[in-house]
């Protein structure tokens, strides 16, 4: 069965600190896709990244970086030098190649960046 676990419900850090959001997933499929989304107070889910199960290369995009480790079924997200505008709820998600068409979301991590 598919499952995404974001153990950190809420995190608060002071601006300019680095912060890592954890994501652990479960799937029986060998081909799957992992996503991160950001949900600011406005409510819209903003797509951040999509990674397929065959690509374990870490990715960096500006202050954002992602660490994908199949051995531990984790897809962690790090924000470097955090800013107040990074405050939001962040969702990790999974979809399976041969599964149905839904994306399974974790419960989300609410991130507070304190000025």
Between 76 and 91, CB nearer to another protein: 91
**String of DSSP letters for 27-90:** -S-SSEEEEEEEE-TT---EEEEEEETT----EEETTEEEEEEGGGTEEEEEESS--GGG-EEE
Total binding residues for another protein by CB under 8 A?
Answer: 22
Per-residue CA distances from 41 to 4, 16, 91 (Å): 22, 21, 14
Separation of alpha carbons 22 and 77, rounded Å: 7
The count of residues in the chain is 115
Least distance from C-beta 52 to another protein, angstroms?
8
Least distance from C-beta 88 to another protein, angstroms?
13
Options 44, 54, 61, 71; binder of another protein; rule CB under 8 A: 44
Does position 33 interact with another protein (CB under 8 A)? The reply is: yes
DSSP 14: E
Stretch that binds another protein, among 15-23, 41-49, 58-66, 73-81 (CB under 8 A): 41-49
Does position 35 interact with another protein (CB under 8 A)? The reply is: yes
> Hey, which residues between 75 and 114 contact another protein (CB under 8 A)?
91, 95, 97, 100-108
Between 42 and 71, CB nearer to another protein: 42
């Amino acid at each position: 069965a598919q499952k995404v676990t974001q153990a950190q419900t809420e995190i608060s850090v002071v601006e300019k600190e680095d912060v890592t959001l954890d994501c652990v997933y479960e799937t029986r499929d060998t081909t799957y896709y992992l996503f991160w989304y950001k949900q600011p107070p406005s409510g819209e889910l903003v797509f951040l990244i999509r990674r397929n199960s065959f690509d374990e290369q870490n990715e960096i995009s500006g202050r954002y970086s992602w660490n994908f480790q199949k051995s531990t079924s984790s897809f962690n997200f790090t924000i470097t030098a955090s800013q107040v505008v990074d405050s939001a709820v962040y969702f990790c998600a999974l979809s399976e190649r041969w599964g149905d068409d839904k994306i399974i979301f974790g419960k989300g991590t609410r991130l507070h960046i304190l000025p």
